[in-house]
Structure 1
Amino acid sequence: MSTHPTSDAGFGVYVHWPFCASKCPYCDFNSHVRREPPDEARFAAAFAREIAHAAALAPGRRVTSVFLGGGTPSLMRPQTVGAILDAIGGAWSVAPDAEITLEANPTSVEAERFAGYRAAGVNRVSLGVQAMNDADLKALGRMHSAQEAMAAVAIAARHFERYSFDLIYARPGHTPQAWAAELEQAIARAVEHLSLYQLTIEPGTWFETLHRAGKLVIPDADTARALWDVTQETCDKAGMPAYEISNHARPGAQSRHNLVYWRYGEYAGIGPGAHGRIVTNEGRVALSTERHPETWLGLVERDGNGIVEREVLGAEAQGDEFLLMGLRLTEGIDPARFTALSGRVLDPRRISALVADGLIRQHPDGRLAVTAEGFPVLDAVVADLAA
C-alpha cells in the first residue's frame, strides 16, 4: 500500500443513504422514495456490517474524511448518523482533524437536526440549496423556499465550523445578468465554499422526458458558456476561485473528501449503489454495491456486504481514471504519477499541441493543468491526452 503512487492522497469513507422525500426531476442519482420511512436501526446495523467488511479489505488505514451522501442523509435521525460514525471509528483509526461531511436539504424540519448531527460527530454540512428564488426552486422540484434555505444556512453556520451549499445554473430562462446577481448573493452567505453545477439533461429523468417533448428548454451553448464565464469571474473577484471544475473555495476551505477522489486516493464505498477504490495485494480494485436499497439490505444481512461488482484495475484503466479525475482540479496532475500508474509516458507532442491551443498549461515543476479555456471542453482534453 505504501508504495502505491497516490498513497498520500488520503483514505475516505463514503456512506450512501439512498432515500429521499421526493425525486427531483433533474436527478439521476441512486435515490428512492418510500411511502413508509425505512427501518433506520436495521439499515444502521447493515452499514456497520459493510463497514467491517471494507475494513477487512483495507485494514490499517487512517480515515481522513467521511462523506454521508445520498439521497438525503438529513432524513436520518442523528442517532443513526452517530451509529454509522461509531462503526467507522471502530473499524479504522480516524485522524483527529478528519473532515466529516453530511449532505442536507435546507428544509426547516431537517435544519432542526443540525445540533444533533454536530453532537454525533459531523463537522461540515453541504446544503442542497440549488436556487435562490422560489420560482426556480419550484421548477426544479425542490421542497424548500428560498427563505427557508437561507434560514437553514444560518443555522448551519451556528452549529458547524465549515459548511457549503450547492446551486444549479443554466436553468430555463437563466441569463448571465440574473446569475451574477444570484451568485453574489450566494457568496455573501456561503463564506468559504460553493458547488456550482450546470444543469444537464440526464437520461432517465423527468427533465429528459420534458426536454424531448419540447416542454423544457435550457440555455443554448453560447448562453451556457456566458454563464460559465460569469461563474468564474464572479467567484474569482470574491476570492473564491475554482479549485475543481464545479467547486469554488477560499484558500484552505476545499472539500477534503472530494480531493481524495480527484487526487486518486483510496476510498471505501458503503451503502446501496456506492462505489469504492481500494488498494489490495492484487492492485487497485474497483468495487460497486447493489443499487436497490432493500436488495442491498438483504445481501448485507446474508453475506456481510452488498458488493455486486469487483474489478482489479489494469495499468491503462488506472491511468485513464487518474487523468479523468485529476484534470478536474485546477492544480492539475503530476505526469510522473500517471507514468507510475499506467506504465507509459504522456505524449509530449499532444501536450505541446494542447498548450499551443491554450487548453492546458505546464507548471515549472512539470505539473499539467487545464486552463479556464480548457475546462468547458474538459472531456475532449482528457481524451486527447489519454490517447
Structure 2
Amino acid sequence: MSRIVLSALLLTGLLSGTAAALVPASPAPAVAQAPAEAPAPETPKDSAKELPRLTLYTSFDPQRLAPVFAEFQKAQGIAVQIESDQADLMLGRLLREGATTAADVALLPTLTRAERAATAGLLVPVTIPDLDKAIPAAYRDAGGRWIAVTGFVRAAVSMGDKVKPGDIARYDDLAKPALKGRLCLPPLGRLASRAFLATQMIPDPLAAEAWLRGVTANAVTLPPSEGPSLPDAEDRPLVQALVDGKCDAALIGSRTLARLADKGDDPLRPALDKLTVTFPVIGDGRGTPVEVVTIGATQATGRREAAVKLITFLTGDTGQRLLAEALWGYPLKPGTPLSNPVTRWGPFKADPTPLSTLLPLLPQAAALAERVGGM
C-alpha cells in the first residue's frame, strides 16, 4: 500500500484573523508641501501564519479520520497531518526511525503493537487531565505511555437459524463437536488474535490450548484469499463464506459488521438482515474481550503540549464519539453515545480484565497460536 499523506488543514483556520494582512496597503496620497510617504509593503499571501501542526502515524484511513481532527483543529487551533500505511509497515517505520521519527503521536491498532512501541522506548509517558473520569484504568498503560481510545469485539455470527439461539453463548461453545466442519475463523496469526488468546489463557493456559485445538478442529479450511492472508479486522470474506454456505457460523469482528451496515452500496449489505449476531463471553462469564486501538505521544516529539491536547480531546466526550464513528468502533469512555452501525446488534458485557494483566501473556499467546495454527 502506498503511503497516504493527508493534511487536515482547514481553510477557515488558515484565513481566520488574517484577512487584513492579505490585503495590500495603499500608498499615502502625495502632499505638495512634503515628500510623499513610501507605500506600505505588500504582505504576500503565502506569508500567512500556519497553524501549529502535529504529525500522526496510523494504519487507519485518513479520509475517515479527517472529520475527527478537523473538530480538534476547530477546538484547539492545532492541525493534524496524517501519515498512513499498513499496520505492520507503519509500526516498522516507527521502530526504524526511532528518535528521528517525524511522528508526534501514534494511533496503533492492537495491544501487541502498542506494547512493542512502548517497550522500544518510542512512547513517552504523559499526564492527561481528568483521565480517571474518561477512560477506565483497565484500558490504560500503567506507565502512561499509551491509552486505548476505541475498541472492537468478536461476535459469533450465523446465517439465519442454522445455529440455535444460545448454542454459542460462550467462546467455549466454539469447541463443541456439534460445530465440526461448520465454523469459519479469522487467521490465528493476526496480532489482534494475541490479546484475544491471552484473555482465554486466564486462569488456565493448558485449558486454553485444549479449547483452541477443539475450535480449530471444527474449522472449515478456506482458500488463502479468504483466510490466513486477511489483514487485521478485515473479516468481510467470512461474511461471504456464510452467504455462500461454506460454514454455518463464524467468528467475525464487530468492525467488519459495522462497516458493512454503514456502507449502503456494498453488495454484502443485504445479507446482514439474514445474520444472527451474538457476543459470547469468556468461559467463566467475565465478559466479551475488547480489542483496542491505542494512542501515545512519541519520545521524539518536540510538540508534547500539543500532543497532550490531542490525546485529551480523543479521550473526551466529543473525541470519543467521533473516533468511534470514524473507525466503526465502540467508545471506551462510559456514557458516550454509540453510532448506529454498532447499535444494530445490541449491547454486550465487556470483559473487565485490565490490559496490563494481558501483557505478560502475549508471548505465550503468540507461541500458542504458532503451535495450534489454523485460525
Scaled by the length of structure 1, the TM-score of the pair is 0.28
| RCO comparison, higher one (Cα < 8 Å, 6+) | 2
Higher strand share: 1
